[in-house]
Chains A and B, each alone.
Chain A
Amino acid sequence: MILIVDLSYKKNSLSFEEFVLPIASIVEKTGTDFNIKHFTELCEEDLRSSEKVILCGTALKDDEFLKHEEEFSWMKKINKPILGICAGMQLIGLVFGSELIEAKEIGMKEIKLKKPNKLFSTDLYAYELHKYSIKPNEDFEILAVSDLCVQAIKHRSKEIYGVIFHPEVRQRQIIVNFVEKVS
């Protein structure tokens, strides 16, 4: 079971169909069960019953999730793979003490691989929609960068990944790889 977390400003917002359903659709095609929850309704049972967690992105103007960083401290406690997409990567960075930095990118960009990993092993051309990225601290290794900012990170001792671009748009295999190869 994959837990897919909606980080949008409110439950069942217009962003749900834009940032959550495309992820669910990719997970569904792998034949893996999933459970979608808005972040305000996450409970311990959701985390306990899931093998992995995907934190979805939000609209460019939606920073509501940043006001709720403390509600994601469970990321430090559960020993399960997590993939944070855009807003999700920002939260992962913040929860583990990294710095949020202003870095706006909108549209397709070239992404340079820094370290081959279970999610991807080549340079990428990917869709961006973010105002911030993360300046990772020593807990993380940098997997990929653009000419502006860090694009992908992995926790050094946990199976916790973050990508600031949106793999659901042109790099769907990254989500499939997380579902099938990360454990």
Chain B
Amino acid sequence: MRLGVLFSGGKDSILALYKAMEKEDVVCLITVISDNKESYMFHTPNIHITEYQADSIGLPLVTIRTAGVKEEELKELRRVIEMAKEKFEIDGIVAGTVESVYQATRIQRICDSLGLWCFNPLWQKNQLDILREVVELGFDVVITGVFAEPFDSSWLGRKINSKTIDELKKLSEIYKISPAGEGGEFETTVLDGPIFKKRLEVKGFSINFSKGSGIMEIKKLELKEK
């Protein structure tokens, strides 16, 4: 089955991609670039990195830009999936949705309207297990956005590893937040992993943090041989 993977460049979409590549024929990545930092549907920090990730993984990237107005952005999502269907003759879509019935419902409806299969290999998965699996598989995941207490600027740029996972677990119990950022508490960017032919090396970045939220914006990076 020829599949396109909805791809934000964060840990969930990379794990969904990895699982899809193990079982089916992934022929393209699909990215929606939202201008709305609070988009209901789309991961935003460092979305431009998907171009480098796709290059490293060796898959073509289909992109579309949206103003990110709620529900309106779904028309852009439908359009970009349609573009991928026409250009790469995909039979279906893979998404890294874990808990959000809002996201899952809308992606399912779009796929249904386009006659496409829809797969969500992380659906309902334990969020700490997702973090552990990503680390065990050898993905290099960095926190590049924090949007809720108790996360401060010191979390920006931190790698997800077993120590970070233990801390996230404790924080999730104290603050009743998602340990994997599923509620939008934090966002991640993946720089390397088993499906990367070259690793992404950050050569320049800026950290902007104020009023309890912030992002690590990757300004410059290079693809390096592994």
Given contacts A61-B92, A61-B118, contact A168 B105 (CB under 8 A): no
Say yes or no: A17 contacts B125, CB within 8 Å: yes
CB distance from A177 to the nearest CB of B (A): 18
Given contacts A60-B108, A106-B108, A129-B108, contact A14 B121 (CB under 8 A): yes
Q: Pick the contact of B121 from A18, A107, A168 — CB < 8 Å?
A: A18
For the complex, give the distance between the alpha carbons of A111 and B219 in Å: 50
Classify chain A: how many residues form its interface, as a range: 20 to 34
Given contacts A168-B124, A169-B124, contact A15 B101 (CB under 8 A): no
Given contacts A14-B24, A18-B119, contact A25 B126 (CB under 8 A): yes
Residues of A within 8 A of B92 (CB): 61
Classify chain B: how many residues form its interface, as a range: 20 to 34
For the complex, give the distance between the alpha carbons of A61 and B109 in Å: 11
For the complex, give the distance between the alpha carbons of A154 and B108 in Å: 29
Say yes or no: B124 contacts A22, CB within 8 Å: yes
Say yes or no: B123 contacts A14, CB within 8 Å: no
Q: Pick the contact of B118 from A17, A59, A108, A168 — CB < 8 Å?
A: A59
Say yes or no: B105 contacts A17, CB within 8 Å: no
Q: Say yes or no for A161: interface residue by CB 8 A criterion.
A: no
Main SS at interface, chain B: mixed
Q: Pick the contact of B117 from A59, A106, A129 — CB < 8 Å?
A: A59
Q: Which residue of B lies closest to A14 (CB)?
A: B119
Main SS at interface, chain A: mixed
Q: Say yes or no for A121: interface residue by CB 8 A criterion.
A: no
A-B contacts, CB under 8 A, total? 60
Residues of B within 8 A of A108 (CB): 101, 105
Say yes or no: A59 contacts B119, CB within 8 Å: yes
Q: Say yes or no for A68: interface residue by CB 8 A criterion.
A: no
Residues of A within 8 A of B94 (CB): 14
Say yes or no: B101 contacts A127, CB within 8 Å: yes
For the complex, give the distance between the alpha carbons of A15 and B120 in Å: 8
Q: Say yes or no for A21: interface residue by CB 8 A criterion.
A: yes
Residues of B within 8 A of A157 (CB): none
Say yes or no: B20 contacts A14, CB within 8 Å: yes
Say yes or no: B124 contacts A15, CB within 8 Å: no
Residues of B within 8 A of A17 (CB): 19, 121-123, 125
Residues of B within 8 A of A12 (CB): 23
Q: Say yes or no for A183: interface residue by CB 8 A criterion.
A: no
CB distance from A154 to the nearest CB of B (A): 25
Q: Say yes or no for B116: interface residue by CB 8 A criterion.
A: yes
CB distance from A19 to the nearest CB of B (A): 8
Q: A60-B108, A106-B108 are in contact. List 10 more A-B contacts (CB 8 A).
A: A17-B123, A18-B121, A18-B124, A21-B124, A25-B126, A106-B105, A106-B109, A106-B112, A107-B101, A129-B108
Give the top 7 A-B pairs by smallest Cβ distance, nearest first.
A107-B105, A22-B124, A14-B119, A17-B121, A18-B123, A61-B117, A18-B120
Q: Could you list which residues of chain B lie within 8 angstroms of chain A, going by C-beta atoms?
A: 19-20, 23-24, 92, 94, 101, 104-105, 108-109, 111-112, 115-126
